[in-house]
Amino acid sequence: MERSRRSTSPALARLSALASLLILGVVGGCGPSSCGGDAPTLLACQLGLFRADCGGTGPATFACSPRIGECRWFATACVAEGFRATDCPNGEPCCHTTMYGSWPYADDWTANPSDIDEDIAACGYDVLTAHRPAPINVVLDPAVPATTPSYVSCEPAATRHFCASTGFVPMATADGGVLLRLNGLDTLDPEVVWIEVVQVDGDTLGARVFARVLPDLAVGAACESALTERLRFTGTLTLSSADFSDPSALHGRADLVLNGGAATVLF
C-alpha cells in the first residue's frame, strides 16, 4: 500500500513533545486491576524512548493512545491513562485484520491524527523495557576524538534519509540515560534516528537504535501503511564519558550495521 508524501510541521511538533516527555517523566503510580488504583497519567510514569514504567504487575504490554497518537511499551500490564493495550502476542503486534489491513486491534480503531503505524514499525516488534538487553555495545574511551560538526556516513552511500544528517542532538532522559538524535534532511518525510543509552545490568551500559519516519497524517489504519522500515541495528557506540549530567559535552562515534548496510556517526 502506498501513501502520498506529507508535510511535517505537526509531526516535528510531536517529536518536540516526545523529547519533553523524556526529560520530564518521573516515577509514578498504578492503573486499574494491574496496579490496584486509577491509571496514571503518562507524565506520572518513568519514561524512556518508546517505553514507560507506570509500576504495577503483569507482563510488558504494548499499547497505543488515540489522544496523542503514539504507541509505547509499558513495563507491566499497567498502562497510562488514555492508552489501549493490544491483545496481540509479543513479536506480532499486528495480529488482527481489518478492512485496511493488519492491525493491533480487532476493530479499525485508530488515533486521530494517527502516526501509530510508524511507531509500530519502529518499536512494536520487540519487547522494550528499561533493562532488557540492548543490541549496541557501549565502550567508554576518553580519548575518542570529537567531530565538529557531527556527520553521518553510510555504506552504500545515501541509502537512508538519515545518511544526510548533519545535526546530532544529545539530551538526558528521565531514568538517567542519554538520548542522541539524528535529524534527517528530507523535508517531506524526514527520517529521524535515535540512539538511546541505558543501564542494562548494574553499571553496564548498552544502547538501542531506532529509526522513525515523521509523517503527520496516516491513510487508513494498517501496519502496512507505515513509511518507517523495520531496521535492526547492531554495532558499537564509543562515548567519551559515562557522565550524562551535561549531554552536550559528550562526543564519540557509533559504528552501526543495519539491514545489509552500515552507518558511521561521528560527533
* CA gap 162, 172 in Å, rounded: 22
SS3 113: coil
Cis omega before residue 113 (within 30°)?
A: yes
pLDDT tens digit sequence for 19-30: 434 433 333 333
How far apart CA 126 and CA 77 sit, in angstroms, is: 16
Distance CA 32, CA 187 (A): 42
Tens digits of residue pLDDT in 223-262:
888 888 888 899 999 999 998 888 888 999 999 998 888 9
Query: Which residue has cell 553510510?
Result: 154
From 181, 71, 168, select the one nearest 118 (Cα to Cα): 71
The chain-wide mean pLDDT, for the chain, equals: 79
Contact assessment for residue 216 and residue 8, using Cβ atoms and an 8 Å cutoff: yes
Q: Is the pLDDT of residue 8 over 50?
A: no
Predicted local distance difference test score (pLDDT) of residue 161: 73
* Of the candidates 254, 262, 54, the residue with the CA atom closest to the CA atom of residue 134: 254
